[in-house]
Every structure is written in structure tokens, then in C-alpha cells.
Amino acid sequence: MRRGIRRYFCNNCNSSFSSQRRPEKLQKIIFKEYFLQRQTLQQLSLKYNKSIPWIRKQILEYDIGEKVHNPREVNLVCDATFYGKQKDKLGTLVFKDVESKEILIWKHIESEIVQDYKYLKEELLELGYIILSVTLDGKRGLYKAFRNIPKQMCHFHQKKIIQRYITMKPKLEAGKDLKKIMTRLTQTNEKNFTRKIDEWYEKYKDFLDELTVNNLTGECHYTHPRIRSAYRSLRTNLPYLFTYKNYRDLTISNTTNALEGGVFSHMKNMISLHRGLTKSMKITLVDYYLLNYKKKY
């Protein structure tokens, strides 16, 4: 034993050496106990008779490894989630392969912008992946980011958009009829759905074009702006609502639920178990979780 480090003597070559793997092994144990077994920094400090800063340092310096890629044809589901506080906003944009359920690539972000989607797409292409299709939440500008690639608008997000404009219990007849059409979204095809939307618009065209005059300014504005916005959203996303049915030979998901419920919910739950995590520790945890998704930790 020299300076607290156990050394070993080889009888064959008469040389002495110390084990370099033990610190790495302990680092791994501490990392897993903290994040996966819900041990606090204080509990680990007492357990290993080390200071809290030392324990935190082991966690931050733990090498979680690197993503190993297997370039191939993939159908993507792409979405972002946020889990930071308002003053320390932090989120992660994730691309997932529908068929293998593998998390292919991700990027930590402070806001959801189109440039980050473009960046990850180009990274995958550079790695040798062939993107057959992509399922998105319909954020403005995203369709152009995946030009010449079949794009599917998430049905869940589309329904939420319409619900936000007409509410869950619409009072206007136009809203009630539009809600009925939306309930058939997953059970119909593009031709029939388009016909229903066209018929709805012809029926309520005059209603949608109604104007109200502001008595103070004399300016005119649409009387029913929210239901007009609901219709405009459907019209904009209509070419991307039935891609999954128009390309039946591809494994295209019609929602981003594979990320929303399958990845993000558990990831946020892991973060919430450790209140007061620093930004760097959140990033470390998310990287480890996504790197080992669907694997045995």
C-alpha cells in the first residue's frame, strides 16, 4: 500500500503495479446509484466517506460512452421536449427510428428552432443513414427542412391544435361540425377527409368571412378568428396528414407518441426525482438515458 493505493507485485517480472480500473468502476457505481437508484449526494457522501463536491465530481466526470451508429434506411420520429426552469431553460431535440425504436441522435437546445432539425438531419446523412420518412409536430418551417422526404404531420398535435382553437366543447355549430370531422381523422383517407373539409368550408364560408367593426377605431376584423385559424391549420397540414397511408410500403408513424410517451415522460420523471440538478448534471443524465434507451443499464 503506497499513498493509500494498493499495489501488486508480479513474481514473473519482479515489477509492481496498481489497478487503474478501480476508480473507474467506483465512478460507475456512484453514477448509477445516484441516477438509477435515487441515492442523494448526501447519502453517497456518507456511504463512501467522501465530500459532496467529490461525489458530484465523480458523477460529472463519469464517461458515459459514445453513440455507436449503424447507418441504414430509417423512418424517423422527431420532436423536442423541455425540462428546465424558465430562467435556465433546457430541452433536447431527439430523432428516433420507428422500426428499431433506437434513439439515433439528439441535441440539447434552449429553444425549438428549425435550424436544429436541419443540423441533426444533416448529421444523420453524413453518418450514412438514408431517411425514408419523417413524422413531425408541424412546427412552422419544419416541412422545408425535410425537403424531398415524405413528411407526416402528427395526428395528436393536429387534434390538439384544433382543440385549442375551438375548445373541447365548441358552442358554435361550425366548431361542432369541425370537431366531428376531426374524430374521423385516423379512420378515413386523404380523399374523403379533404371532401369533408371542402364541404364544411362551403357550408360556413359566409360565417367565416363575417366582419366586426371596432366602434372606436372604425377598423374591421374577423368575427370568428379562432375557428378561421383552426381551418387554416388543417388546410396547411392537409398534404401531410395521410402520408402514412399514401406510403404503405414504409413504416411511418402517424404520431410522435413514440417520443412523447415512450421516451420523454420517463426521462422527465428521472430528472424530477433529483430536484436541484445543475444544468450540466441534467445534460449528463439525459445523455446517459438516451444512449442506453431500451438497453439494460
Q: Give the per-residue pLDDT at 3.
A: 46
Distance CA 243, CA 253 (A): 9
pLDDT of residue 210: 94
Instruction: Give yes or no: residues 130 and 259 share one domain.
Output: yes
Helix 225-237 × helix 190-208 angle, to 10°: 150
Q: Are both 29 and 97 inside the same structural domain?
A: no
- Can you read off the three cell numbers belonging to residue 103? 434513439
**One domain, residues 77 and 144:** yes
Residue 151 per-residue DSSP state:
E
Phi, psi of 101 (to 5 degrees): 65, 20
- Residue 94 phi, psi dihedral angles, 5° rounding: -125, 135
Please check whether residue 187 lies inside any domain of the structure: yes
The verdict on residue 91 lying in a domain is: yes
**Is there a single domain that holds both residue 144 and residue 278?**
yes
Domain total of the chain? 3
Residue 145 and residue 252 share a domain? yes
End of a domain among 19, 45, 61? Answer: 61
Res 138: pLDDT = 87
State the Cα–Cα distance between residues 247 and 16, nearest whole angstrom.
Answer: 65
Of 124, 93, 140, residue with least CA distance to 267: 93
Could you tell me if 185 and 224 lie in one domain?
A: yes
Domain assignment of residue 194, yes or no: yes
Which is nearest to 235 in space by CA: 201, 186, 189, 192? 201
d(CA 149, CA 134): 7
Residues 132 and 263 in one domain: yes
SS3 sequence of 63-109? CCCCCCCCCCEEEEEEEEEECCCHHHCCEEEEEEECCCCCEEEEEEE
155 lies in some domain: no
Per-residue pLDDT, 214: 84
Both 132 and 270 in a single domain? Answer: yes
Domain annotation covers residue 109 = yes
**Which CATH number goes with the domain that contains 294?**
3.30.420.10
pLDDT mean by block of 10 residues, the chain; 297 residues: 53 58 77 86 91 90 91 97 77 96 96 95 98 94 94 96 95 96 95 97 96 86 95 96 96 94 88 81 91 75
Q: Examine the domain organization and report whether 96 and 113 are in the same domain.
A: yes
Q: Which domain holds residue 29?
A: 7-61
Residue 89 has what pLDDT? 82
